[in-house]
Structure 1
Amino acid sequence: MSSKLTLGFALICLILNGCGPVSTSGNQELDKSPEPKTPVSITQISNAPLSDYIELNATATFQQKGIIKASSNGYLQTVNVKKGDYIKGGQTLFTIITKEAKSIGNAINNLDPSFKFTGLTRITANTAGFAGEVSHQKGDYVQEGEQLAVITNLNSFVFLMDLPYELTGIIKNQKALEVTLPNGEKLIGNVGSALPLVDSASQTQRIIIQVKTQKIIPEGLVAKVKLIRSESLNPIALPKESVLANETQDEFWVMKLINDTTAVKINIQKGLETRSYIEIKSPLFKPDDRFILTGNYGLSDTAKITINHK
């Protein structure tokens, strides 16, 4: 009987010993399961100049317009200008013949051909420009001093910009302004004088912007003028997507890679901010530092990552 008990006890011990190692091996396999990694894309710092600016409308106009007037009473015998024509300085625009010349001029010449009486008065342009208005046509009777045409002075071309008065401090610091036409062409403009008048409704002051261009720009064209508030010429900057913030927007950080599989949280101080980039004032990152661009939301400090190279 005792031998049977001894044999049974030995069998139980063998069974227990056999089960023990299997259980331990299973635990080891669970412990070795890989830690999940977040797929991310990366970026590096940019040193391209940044500028914070606003854009305002400016309207093309000619400040000086010459009014061509009749110098005597009479009939318009010739009209050599149409609206929109380019006019050269000294060009004859109209000729006027008086009533008296029209009625007796030929008779006088018949009596004395050497007299060469015509009774014609030539009216010329005193400056180059475009004919903005032509008020009369051939055969009209006009009186002395009556307006015949309006000529715009090409040398008086400017853009007029209505500047909010609170921004007058900014305009004083602008050495040159970028003026963009509707077709995308860019011109360089200089700030001229400011008219001593503020619109009571909009609280804007009219600013004259002078541009140098060989191109003839039509009056009334609306362009965009860039006013720079602040700029940084050699910043350390990162794309906006790589900068994270807390709910109260008073703490900012980036996720910096310390190797190909690990990123750590680095608190930063922001500087100038544009539509696409944010200047990093501190700490001073190196050109070869790498940062998470996408996939960084919700990552904890010392996060495990995998770089998406697509």
Structure 2
Amino acid sequence: MNSTTGTAKILPVAILLSLFTIAGCNRGGASDEDDDDSGTSTSINAKVEVNVVNPRIGSLSEYRILNATSVFLLNDIVRAPIAGYINTVYVTTGQEVKPGDKLFAILTKEASVLVADTLFPSRGVITVKATQAGIIKEVDRQQGDYMQDGDQFCTIADKSSLVFMLDVPFEIHNFVVKGHPYTISLPDGETVKAQIASQIPQMDRAVQMERFILRPSASLDIPEGLIATVYIPTITGSNATILPKNAVLSDETQTDFWVMKAVHDSLAVKVPVIKGIETRDSVEIKSPAFSDNDKILVTGNYGVPDTVKIKIMKQ
């Protein structure tokens, strides 16, 4: 009897110990799950580093880019004063000359026969000199050539007469205003201001272009025939809300546009916008109305959800 009673007392104790062990294991499992939740919470709380700008209020213009070609308006054609043979050529193409510089010498036909006649101390050689400053644009004859009276020897271009011929499609000719300042961009990146001096009253029938003479405000040392670009404003908006181009995002079809606006220093939200005038680096925002105190994301704004936690970087 005593042995049976002892066994009965031991069983409840073993059961209790098993229960405590199971409870301890459950607590350990709960602890592991908490650690996992903690890791997930950390990833959710990650912030995107961004840069922001404030919208600015100002004027913005949309441009048409047109070609303009450099041309010398004044060209002095030097001709032979008499018939004869070219005795000496003093100039070459591209050479700069000033008034009084020798261009060429011509030997009269008679002098070529009577070169030893002492009655002609100059031996019938006539030297032709430049009457104006400029650059030798082309030389049409060479030493030994025979020239009739009035034949062309060379052409001198007046460097101060350099202008640009601007070709303008007829549909936008009303946007080209006489006396208005325009910007000419040269192929090397240099820019120069210029004004419309006049319009040539003739239409290019093939391409339906009008020609305007664009006179640079500063002298340029460039050759004739150089093709430059001119920006003609076709639409101008005043008192416009302007953002950098990289602040405005769009869908793949370029139909919906939006910006990411910082509502406070740690959160940004998607705000749909309607664009207006657009240039190479700026966009007019017609709707909604932004103040110049708003903060709009310009970096860190691509591929983020409609609401995102942010960290604004110092600029």
Pairwise TM-score range, normalised by the shorter structure: 0.7 to 0.9
Q: Report whether the alignment pairs 1:273 with 2:278.
A: yes
- Partners of 2:277 and 2:284 within 8 A in 1: yes
Deviations 1:24-52 (A, max 9, x none): x99xx799984935636241224376432
CA–CA separation in structure 1 for the residues paired with 2:310 and 2:160:
64
> What corresponds to 2:221 in structure 1?
216
Give 2:230's match in structure 1, choosing from 194, 214, 225: 225
Q: Report whether the alignment pairs 1:305 with 2:309.
A: yes
> What corresponds to 1:190 in structure 2?
195
* 1:70/1:291 CA distance change after superposition, 3 Å: closer
Partner-residue secondary structure (3-state), 2:224: coil
Q: Report whether the alignment pairs 1:141 with 2:150.
A: no
> What corresponds to 2:209 in structure 1?
204
Please, which moves more after superposition, 247-256 or 210-219?
247-256
Give 1:178's match in structure 2, choosing from 175, 183, 206: 183
Q: CA deviation at 1:271?
A: 2.9
Q: CA deviation at 1:281?
A: 3.4
Partner-residue secondary structure (3-state), 2:172: helix
Q: CA deviation at 1:176?
A: 1.0
> What corresponds to 2:48 in structure 1?
39
Partner-residue secondary structure (3-state), 1:275: coil
- Partners of 2:117 and 2:123 within 8 A in 1: no
Q: Which residue identity does 1:299 align to in structure 2?
A: P
* 1:289/1:147 CA distance change after superposition, 3 Å: same
Q: CA deviation at 1:277?
A: 2.6
CA–CA separation in structure 1 for the residues paired with 2:105 and 2:198:
40
Q: CA deviation at 1:135?
A: 2.5
Deviations 1:176-213 (A, max 9, x none): 11112121111111112222222233221222111143
Partner-residue secondary structure (3-state), 1:219: coil
Please, which moves more after superposition, 228-237 or 135-144?
228-237
* 1:221/1:289 CA distance change after superposition, 3 Å: same
Please, which moves more after superposition, 61-70 or 117-126?
117-126
Q: Which residue identity does 1:140 align to in structure 2?
A: D
CA–CA separation in structure 2 for the residues paired with 1:211 and 1:275:
24
- Partners of 1:45 and 1:237 within 8 A in 2: no
Q: CA deviation at 1:270?
A: 3.0
Q: CA deviation at 1:117?
A: 5.9
Give 1:92's match in structure 2, choosing from 83, 98, 102: 102
Q: CA deviation at 1:165?
A: 1.3
> What corresponds to 1:120 in structure 2?
125
- Give the TM-score taking structure 1 as reference length: 0.74
Matched ranges for 1:154-165 at <5 A: 154-165=159-170
CA–CA separation in structure 2 for the residues paired with 1:246 and 1:94:
70
CA–CA separation in structure 2 for the residues paired with 1:253 and 1:173:
39
Q: CA deviation at 1:143?
A: 1.9
- Give the TM-score taking structure 2 as reference length: 0.73
- Partners of 2:88 and 2:143 within 8 A in 1: yes
CA–CA separation in structure 1 for the residues paired with 2:197 and 2:291:
43
> What corresponds to 1:4 in structure 2?
none
- Partners of 2:78 and 2:154 within 8 A in 1: yes
* 1:105/1:263 CA distance change after superposition, 3 Å: closer
- Partners of 1:255 and 1:296 within 8 A in 2: no
- Partners of 2:179 and 2:197 within 8 A in 1: no
Q: CA deviation at 1:262?
A: 3.1
Deviations 1:273-302 (A, max 9, x none): 2233322234443333223443465634xx
State, as a whole percentage, how many aligned pairs show the same letter.
Answer: 34
Q: CA deviation at 1:66?
A: 2.0
Partner-residue secondary structure (3-state), 1:166: helix
Partner-residue secondary structure (3-state), 1:101: helix
What runs of 5+ residues in structure 1 fail to find an aligned partner?
1-14, 111-115
- Partners of 2:178 and 2:197 within 8 A in 1: no
* 1:87/1:249 CA distance change after superposition, 3 Å: closer
CA–CA separation in structure 1 for the residues paired with 2:304 and 2:112:
95
> What corresponds to 1:68 in structure 2?
78
CA–CA separation in structure 2 for the residues paired with 1:236 and 1:146:
64
What runs of 5+ residues in structure 2 fail to find an aligned partner?
1-18
Q: How many residues align?
A: 287
Q: Which residue identity does 2:284 align to in structure 1?
A: E
Q: Which residue identity does 2:170 align to in structure 1?
A: Y
